[in-house]
Copies of this chain bind each other. A is one copy, B any other.
Amino acid sequence: MFSNTAKYAIKACLFLAVNSSEVNKLVIKDIAEPINVPSAYIAKILQALSKKDIISSTRGPKGGFYLTKNQFQTNVMQIIEAVDGEERLNSCLLSLEKCNSDNPCSLHHLVYEEKHKINERLKRTTLEDLRQHIMRGESILPL
C-alpha cells in the first residue's frame, strides 16, 4: 500500500512526536536505531521531510530533529504525499491513470467507498492524535 519510504517517514515523524521537542532534539542515530531503519536511509528521508517543512532541524552541536507546535498538527496523508507523491494513493486499481468515478473500472465499485474512507481518516488524523493513542497504550510504534 505505502512504499517503504512512506512507512519509514511516518515512523520517524511519530517517533519525533513522542520523544522530541524544541528543547530536546534528536540526532539521526537516536531516531534510526529505535525505529529500526538504516540510518543513512532515514537521514535522507528526514532531509526531505525537513525541506518540506514537515519536521524541523538545526545543524551543528546540540542540533537535531524535532517538531514545532504546528508540526504536531501535520496529518498522516501529508507525510505520505511528501515522500510518495500524490498519485500513488489515488491511482486506479486497474489502469495506470487516476481513479475516476465517472468512468469506473471493473474494480472501482468494490473498493472506492472504503478507500475514500481510509483516505479521509488519514487526512483527519494528526501526529498529535497518534501520539496520544500511543501514550494511552492503544497502539504501538512498531520496530
What is the interface of chain A, defined by CB distance below 8 A to chain B?
1-2, 4, 7, 10-11, 14, 76, 91-97, 103-111, 114-115, 117-118, 121-122, 125, 130, 133-134, 138-143
Smallest Cβ-Cβ distance to A18: which chain B residue: B106
How many copies of the shown chain assemble into the complex? 2
Chain B proximity of A123: nearest CB distance (Å): 11
Are B118's CB and A117's CB within 8 A? no
- Return the contact of A125 from the options B95, B104, B110 (Cβ within 8 A): B110
Say yes or no: A1-B106 contact (C-beta < 8 A), given A118-B111, A118-B114, A118-B115.
no
Chain B proximity of A5: nearest CB distance (Å): 12
- Which residues from chain B contact A104 at a C-beta distance below 8 Å? 138-140
Are B111's CB and A142's CB within 8 A? no
Chain B proximity of A138: nearest CB distance (Å): 7
Bound CA span A104–B134, Å:
10
Say yes or no: A92-B142 contact (C-beta < 8 A), given A114-B115, A114-B117, A118-B114.
yes
